[in-house]
Structure 1
Amino acid sequence: MANNDEIKDDSPFRVHSRREIVSLLTSMMERNQLLSLLIKGGSESIITSILDIDDDDDSVVIDAAPSTMLNESILQSNRIGFEAVYNNIRITFNVDKAQKCLYQERPALKITIPTSLVRLQRREYFRIATPIAKPLRCTFRVTREDGSFTTIVTLLNNISAGGIGITDEKKLLDPTLGRIYEDCSLEMTDNTVVTVKLQIRDCKEVKLASGKTVNRFGCEFVDIPRAVLAAIQRFITKLEREQNAKASGMM
């Protein structure tokens, strides 16, 4: 769910070690790894690569964009995102600005070495659908204005280690993006229920074949304990194994 380095600073997937960051970027440079450079919230992107890393200068030199207009857009951006899939690991990081420079007498761009980056194994960001025959639920415990509590039951559509997709059939949840729900009970097929904190990242109204409209949400896990994350990863592995077995006719 988290996109382009939006995972929280205390996430187990975020790397803060400068030595590790420089080592990873150097390895990507040596293997000519391509990166997506994103600006304007990801609405514009180019493909680039790392040309040079100078730890003492705190800088990374990357290929410039193929057009002057794109380069100007990059130089004017106050936040630049990067994404790559390297050795089956998704790498994302952000920097604040880019500067013009020359590298081997060719136009290039210079950025600072990122202070952190996110490194996700495939299964950590892979989103898998949950069983339709036996629907699972995510129950939100919500505080009313008068201080009393109510529960809102939603259907679980899919899950990843970063968050979940749910359907609110009665359209009771507040769809405000960024809203955090502190006390949510998430069901898993092995009769395990875990408590998670969820942030609303996306909401779409969907019209079903019956003509009924529902709200579908994308929610991100917030401050998830490692033990809960491990349980979710085991659940994802189990779902994937079961779905692969069905597809091969073993179930």
Structure 2
Amino acid sequence: MNETPPLSSPESKESPSILLESGGFDRYMLHGRNEILYLLKSLIEHVCQITVFFGEKNLLLTSVIEVDENGLLLDYGASAEMNRKALEAAKLFCVTNLEKVKVQFILRGLTKVEYEGRPAFRADLPDSMLRLQRREYYRLTMPITRPLKCIIPIQPDDGFTDTVEVDVVDISGGGLSIVNLPERFLSEENTEIPNCRIDLPDVGVIAATLMVRTTFEIVLRSGTRMRRTGCEFVKLPGPMATLIQRYILKVERERKAREAGLT
């Protein structure tokens, strides 16, 4: 697939940065049906506005209003002309953001349907979705009362594998920060730590290889000194990234509910 993505419209403030066919983003692609359904439902839950690019410099603004195993429904756009052209397009590039994470996918044609008494677009589920969740995007700082634990395997001199448990300070789809990592992992720059496990309460367990990137000392208000280490996930599988995103959304929903007094 080497088609040139459509250019941004004069009405848009910036380039759509369509990356689906640019290459180099395989690790951020979701292909599993359950992963795709979950991500589309999250777009509904967060009322994410989607910009749809098609043809030559054509675009419309919409949002996902319903999704199931058979496909998804999108709101009709405000422009009758753009709606008509969208129905004629064979390929549509969809771009949005979910909690500061870039999401993109391709729809292979639209049909017009009725939804709750108003027109809507129907499309088959996308074959894949790009969720570009790099370290510069949303990073969740862990609540002090509910820290995550990272289980790290170590190999003592006797040959038997043991484990050490460290606290996770923050986490994102790109990596995490932990405190008091054993010295043996800090002797060389860019040390890889395989077979680490992070239990995400009520969501699942992450199994990942960590790459040590930074380490520095912090001093707490109590005067206690701790060593904080920033680690990057190495080739994190799509299902593991989905679990992290699900956990982040869950914690943020709970936080917002507490702030609104709805607990």
Please state whether the residue corresponding to 1:23 is helix, strand or coil. Answer: coil
- Post-superposition CA distance 1:107-147 (Å, at most 9, x none): xxxxxxxxxxx972699931112232122200110234664
Please state whether the residue corresponding to 2:5 is helix, strand or coil. Answer: helix
Cα gap change, 1:243/1:212 in structure 2, threshold over 3 Å: closer, same or farther? same
- Is the contact between residue 156 and residue 164 of structure 1 (CA under 8 Å) also seen in structure 2? yes
- Is the contact between residue 142 and residue 181 of structure 1 (CA under 8 Å) also seen in structure 2? no
Report the Cα distance in structure 1 between the residues aligned to 2:9 and 2:214, rounded to whole angstroms. 32
Q: Give the counterpart letter for 1:174 in structure 2.
A: F
- Residue 14 of structure 2, aligned match among 30, 33, 40: 33
- Post-superposition CA distance 1:190-230 (Å, at most 9, x none): 17322111111221111222322211111111122222222
The TM-score with structure 2 as length reference comes to: 0.49
The TM-score with structure 1 as length reference comes to: 0.51
How many residue pairs align between the two structures? 155
Indicate whether 1:186 and 2:198 are aligned: yes
Equivalence for 1:162: 174
| TM-align CA RMSD | 3.4
Offset at residue 241 of structure 1 (A) = 0.6
Please state whether the residue corresponding to 2:185 is helix, strand or coil. Answer: coil
- Is the contact between residue 128 and residue 159 of structure 1 (CA under 8 Å) also seen in structure 2? yes
- Is the contact between residue 136 and residue 156 of structure 1 (CA under 8 Å) also seen in structure 2? yes
- Post-superposition CA distance 1:22-69 (Å, at most 9, x none): 416x338984638xxxxxxxxxxxxxxxxxxxxxxxxxxxxxxxxxxx
Equivalence for 1:225: 237
Q: Which runs of no fewer than 5 residues in structure 2 stay unpaired? A: 16-94, 103-129
What is the percentage of aligned positions where both structures have the same residue? Answer: 32
Cα gap change, 1:123/1:181 in structure 2, threshold over 3 Å: closer, same or farther? closer
Equivalence for 1:207: 219
- Is the contact between residue 186 and residue 193 of structure 1 (CA under 8 Å) also seen in structure 2? yes
Report the Cα distance in structure 2 between the residues aligned to 1:246 and 1:226, rounded to whole angstroms. 30
Report the Cα distance in structure 2 between the residues aligned to 1:122 and 1:196, rounded to whole angstroms. 16
- Residue 151 of structure 1, aligned match among 154, 163, 182: 163
Q: Which has the higher contact order (CA 8 A, sep 6+)?
A: 1
Q: Which runs of no fewer than 5 residues in structure 1 stay unpaired? A: 1-16, 35-85, 92-117
Offset at residue 184 of structure 1 (A) = 0.6
Cα gap change, 1:90/1:190 in structure 2, threshold over 3 Å: closer, same or farther? closer
Cα gap change, 1:123/1:198 in structure 2, threshold over 3 Å: closer, same or farther? closer
- Is the contact between residue 134 and residue 174 of structure 2 (CA under 8 Å) also seen in structure 1? no
Equivalence for 1:242: 254
